[in-house]
A = this chain, B = another copy of it.
Amino acid sequence: MRLTSETSSDDVREQLFTLGEIPGVLWTPQGATGPRPLVFMGHGGGQHKKAAGIQARARRFVAECRFAVVAVDVSGHGDRPTDEEYDRIATENQARVAAGEELAPLIARFQALVARRTVPEWQSVLDAVQQLPHVGAGPVGYWGISLGCGLGIPFVAAEPRVRAAVLGLGGALASAEDAARTTVPIEFLLQWDDERVPRDQGLALFDAFASPEKTLHANPGKHGDVPASEFDSTLRFFSRHLA
C-alpha cells in the first residue's frame, strides 16, 4: 500500500493511496490514533471513489461518528484505465436496450461479471487498511447503492469482517443468490419510482436477505432521488451496529 497524498479539512484527514493497481481514498478523524470502526463504501456506476455522494457521507461518518472510511475506484472507473471488456459490454447493452431489450437483466449480468473481480480486490484493500494504526481491526460496515449494491452484496456475503450494511437500488435478478447468504443487519433503500430497477425486483431482493435484522426504507422518486433524511438514518444505523 502506497500513500500518495494527504490533505485535511474540517478535522477530516484524507489520504489517497494505491494498492497494486487499485486507487483508493481513506478518510479518518484528524489526529486519530488507535483502532476504530471502518465503513467501506462502494460507488455507483460511472462514478468514482470521490464522487460527491460518497464524499459527503464519508465526511459525516468521520466527523460525527469518528469512524474511518475507505473507498476505491472500481475497475474501469475514476483513476483506473478504461477496461476494454467492460466498455464493449456497455456498448453492446446500450444497443440491446435501444433495440427494445429489458435493462434489468443486462445490468444484472454485467454486475455479476464485475463482482467476480471486485470482491477479492476489496478484501485485499480491507487487509491493507486495517493494518494502519489509526484504522486497526475494528468492526466493519459496508455502504453501497446501485452498482455499489450489486458489488456490495457478494462482498458482504463473502467477508466475515463486515458486521452491518446499508444497501439499495438493486434488484433480485442480480443479487438474490448472494443476499440469501447474508446474515448481518441490513438497511435497504428502495426508490418507489426507480426507472432502472423494477419495484418488484427491489422488493424481492429485500425479501431474499437471510438477515434476521433487516429494514426496508422506500421513498418516492427515481433512482437518483434518495432523500437526505436517509443519510441521517444511515448514520444512526452504523452507530447502532458498529460503535
Contact = CB atoms under 8 A, between A and B. Distances in A.
Nearest to A220: B214
Nearest to A212: B220
Interface string A122-160: 000000000000000000000000000000000000000
A216 B216 contact: yes
A44 to B, nearest CB: 21
Given A203-B203, A229-B240, A233-B233, A217 B216 contact: yes
B218 A192 contact: no
Size band of the A side of the interface?
20 to 34
Contacts of A161: none
Copy tally for this chain in the complex stands at 2
Contacts of A218: 206, 215-216, 218
Interface in A218-239: 218-220, 227, 229, 232-233, 236
A194 interface: no
B229 A215 contact: yes
Interface string A73-103: 0000000000000000000000000000000
A177 interface: no
A106 B219 CA distance: 30
B214 A219 contact: yes
Contacts of A212: 220
Given A192-B207, A207-B192, A236-B232, A215 B217 contact: yes
Contact of A219 (B215, B219, B227): B215
A222 to B, nearest CB: 14
A217 B217 contact: yes
A216 B203 CA distance: 12
A190 B215 CA distance: 10
Contacts of A213: 220, 227
Interface of A: 190, 192, 203, 206-207, 212-220, 227, 229, 232-233, 236, 240
7 contacts: A192-B207, A212-B220, A214-B219, A215-B219, A216-B217, A218-B218, A232-B236
